[in-house]
Chains A and B, each alone.
Chain A
């Protein structure tokens, strides 16, 4: 058992009368991949919003390495090391692939206008250093040859890989991946899963929302099955997915998704 990186305690969030997240207790260990599965409206994406601070919880706590982080805005949780891949990807479309990664690096002095003007030598040395690292990350996700293309011109799957590389450049330690394989061409899915496994192997904590059972079985160490904002079951992927009620939920999804 690894160290617990992220923990949710009694997390609640309601929208009007709807309890989107209704008392969730979850914990995620470093170096593991945890899949969150469940029908639409189970509260999976809302949970991500609560963890990264895009939404405030009504009740409960989010702990990152033992530190309470609820109430922090998204940029602050991101600086702590919580990275997020959005369902709709959100690359910077008018920036090049390389620039997308360069933005991702944390604590850039050159992002302060005065330093950008007065400390140009220092800034350009750091930039050169970042470029080398960025190209390595791009190599990892297989996009090194597209580094000068505009991000908006990439395919959806490539944009997902780019968004993941951008998170890695940012040094994210906990990765919240919202449907990383949805809408991605099958040839790219394998590359994506390899990357995800490798990240966990390096000690990062990967949490993914996924509807594809074979992806869950292939990549996840643990599975939480969420339903109506609560944990319906938790365990090893093969066990949880063998549960008839989980299978029923997936059968409904499978018909629509694939």
Chain B
């Protein structure tokens, strides 16, 4: 049974990751390739605040969110002036820089050794110490984060994001400060990605930089694109699908060594096929140009 709860915990983590990237990529049309960097910053910030400053899980997470949003401005402010492809490359560069900082700032992050022994989160003094409890814990947190996203998307702010995505020039001609709007969307997406970062650290109780690579960014982006960019439910469906898929493959009796490779092939094939037959994703609204 723990196995099922484990998968559901992972889905709840990826649902928030994909949904927060969707705010940036799907709703605002900014194809960002550094989402795993914000996920990682959130995880490391929460961990370090808990272990070095002795904060509890929630205060640490509550600080990690604005901290990550603030750090995202380092890349947002210079690169949002760039157009299309150049922006994508700049975010990719940021992703690589953050990874190598996590990997090489050994004093702070212990680099490739990672940080073990992250304290068990507790809620009202009750430690969240079983997989089932963590499932309840993480589902509650992610429901909260998704509710915030839902309210944002349905508000005039969300409508403005879609307008900017459709036509920046027209939005500016209506008096909208487009660079400011994009920066806000980007920072919000980054800040919200810190939440699953904290959830992941609290769950695994060990983090190292290899969880926050470019590959991870691509995985999150795949969940958005496969589920359907620019739709609220799309990324949730996409992340459930991508997290559950390898487990489904596991049920078919194939040797582990083959299964691992087969998983990669399946992801790749799936993306190619889906983009051919349904470029807007399963629930999709918006097609990347």
Chain A residues with CB under 8 Å of chain B are 52, 54, 73-76, 78-79, 83-84, 86, 90-95, 99-100, 102-104, 106, 108, 110-113, 116-117, 120, 123, 127, 166-167, 170
Contact = CB atoms under 8 A, between A and B. Distances in A.
A84 B167 CA distance: 14
Interface majority SS (helix, strand, loop, mixed), chain B? helix
A113 B169 CA distance: 22
Contacts of B155: 110, 113, 116-117, 120, 123
B265 interface: no
Contacts of A79: 175
Interface stretch (B91-99, B128-136, B176-184, B239-247): B176-184
A115 to B, nearest CB: 8
B145 to A, nearest CB: 12
B152 interface: yes
Contacts of A83: 173-174
Interface size class on chain B is 20 to 34
A54 B178 CA distance: 13
Contacts of B169: 54, 74, 86, 90
Nearest to A103: B163
21 contacts: A75-B174, A75-B177, A78-B172, A79-B175, A84-B173, A86-B169, A90-B167, A90-B169, A91-B170, A92-B167, A94-B285, A106-B175, A111-B156, A113-B152, A113-B184, A117-B148, A117-B152, A117-B155, A120-B155, A123-B155, A167-B174
B19 interface: no
Given A116-B155, A117-B148, 12 more contacts: A75-B177, A76-B175, A84-B173, A92-B167, A94-B166, A99-B162, A99-B163, A106-B174, A110-B155, A112-B157, A116-B157, A170-B175
A46 to B, nearest CB: 15
A107 B262 CA distance: 53
Enumerate the 5 nearest inter-chain pairs by beta-carbon distance, A residue then B residue, closest first.
A110-B156, A116-B155, A78-B175, A90-B170, A92-B166
B187 to A, nearest CB: 9
